[in-house]
A = this chain, B = another copy of it.
Amino acid sequence: MTNPAIILVAPQMGENIGASARAMLNFGLSDLSIVNPRDGWPNERADAMSSGALDKMPPVQVFADTPAAIAPYHHIYATTARPRDMVKPVLTAAEAAADIRRRQAEGQKTAILFGGERAGLSNDDVALAQTIITVPTNPDFSSINLGQGVMLVAYEWFQAGDVTAAQAKDLPATQEELNEFIARLEAELDSGGFFRSADMKPTTLRNIRSMLSRSDLTEQEVKTWHGIVSALIGKRKHA
């Protein structure tokens, strides 16, 4: 199974190339190609912004034009913010992630094109792709930074395959442990004159139980509560 490649077409700022690389590796992608980068390659600003990602990834491939860059792939996606007058399927990043995963499972090699900072992909570049990816944004402020766009697509791709194992957690206290504490608290509150009216006592106790049970206290936390009550009433005993 080959993970999707990211292809940056005519990117301007090295910082954005580096940010793209970092975002890719954050989400498990490492195949990066660049078409005709304005400031050449390698690029010191890209290295700095990548936070080490470029050192950990296979070497970036540099191409003179988009057709050369996309040649090895079975299916090409073009990212664009503006609608284009072309009859192609348009997917959100999440939909595209599912589509990419499906193609990968079939053995297809896929690549995702991103345009430069100023104007995005040219119509000629979009025409080379089979599928368009558009991220829904605030219509009044829709232009996404290049590195951010790469991150969103990488993030959705990662999410689409993520089956993160449940995080090991402390066991909650048993109901018995919780009930023992609540019974103790009730007894101490009784002798402290907390329940002004016998009528209201059941409701008040229910509310206290509700507060305590809602937070799924662990065994250790119930012990802490016992300690708190002891400290508060202990002041009396030692007074």
Contact = CB atoms under 8 A, between A and B. Distances in A.
Interface in A185-207: 185, 188-189, 191-194, 204, 207
A108 interface: no
A151 B216 CA distance: 31
A238 B193 CA distance: 11
Contact of A25 (B52, B56, B141, B218): B141
B233 A221 contact: no
Contact of A141 (B53, B144, B214, B217): B53
Contacts of A167: 83, 90
Contacts of A141: 25-26, 52-53, 56
A63 interface: no
Nearest to A214: B215
Contacts of A228: 185, 189, 194, 208
24 contacts: A19-B148, A23-B145, A26-B138, A26-B142, A27-B137, A28-B138, A83-B167, A87-B221, A137-B158, A138-B158, A185-B228, A192-B231, A193-B231, A204-B224, A208-B224, A211-B221, A211-B224, A211-B225, A214-B214, A214-B215, A214-B216, A233-B236, A236-B237, A239-B239
